[in-house]
């Protein structure tokens, strides 16, 4: 397994061979090592993956993937914490390597070292790539923002009404934002019951 070297230049094919399964991204030919994920961020990611997976299976609404699976859009390959591809875009999944195009929903769970990247570079990359819905979750600040790409190709902040967010990409998926800050996180079965899936 190769040691990740920040700033190393290589093609994406070389990157896939050298860094298979490692925590790194590829931006305009440059290798970008990623910091380890903290336990709280991982717990939130697992919670969301489990909820979205159950929804997508029950409704035949798509495929849920999580890091370290990469999503390549143009000359950029990122590792979203969570992504969903609707059935119409399932062919973008290359089972042995990556997702070859924009997912329909991307979630980034912010850590202190990723705050600028998730709110800055990735925000504009995902917008330009055509990802319809982008969730930004910041456990340290207990803030969550949900964006939808409008008809002009620009992200607009989606409303959170009385503490509840409802996805536009996945009808029937909604979150009480306060769930994300609970310790422990809400029981999965309880949320699925509220969603009417069990």
Instruction: Give per-residue pLDDT as tens, 98-154.
Output: 999 999 999 999 987 778 788 889 999 999 999 999 999 999 999 999 999 999 999
Are residues 148 and 168 in contact, defined by beta-carbon separation less than 8 angstroms? yes
3-state secondary structure of 171: coil
Please tell me the pTM assigned to this model. 0.93
Are residues 34 and 79 in contact, defined by beta-carbon separation less than 8 angstroms? yes
């Amino acid at each position: 397994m190769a040691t990740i070297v920040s700033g190393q230049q290589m093609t994406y094919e070389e990157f896939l061979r050298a860094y298979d399964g490692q925590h790194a991204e590829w931006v305009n030919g440059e290798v970008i090592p990623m910091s380890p994920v903290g336990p709280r961020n991982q717990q939130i990611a697992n919670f969301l993956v489990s909820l979205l997976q159950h929804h997508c299976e029950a409704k035949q609404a798509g495929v849920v993937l999580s890091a370290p699976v990469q999503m390549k859009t143009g000359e950029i390959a990122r590792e979203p914490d969570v992504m969903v591809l609707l059935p119409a875009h399932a062919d973008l999944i290359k089972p042995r390597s990556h997702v070859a195009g924009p997912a329909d929903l991307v979630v980034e769970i912010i850590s202190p070292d990723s705050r600028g990247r998730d709110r800055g570079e990735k925000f504009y990359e995902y917008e330009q790539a055509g990802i319809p819905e982008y969730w930004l979750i910041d456990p340290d600040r207990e803030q969550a923002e949900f964006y939808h790409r409008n008809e002009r190709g620009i992200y607009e902040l989606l409303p959170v009404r009385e503490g509840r967010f409802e996805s536009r990409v996945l009808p029937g998926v909604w979150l009480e934002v306060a769930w994300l800050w609970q310790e422990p996180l809400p029981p999965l079965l309880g949320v699925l019951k509220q969603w009417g899936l069990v």
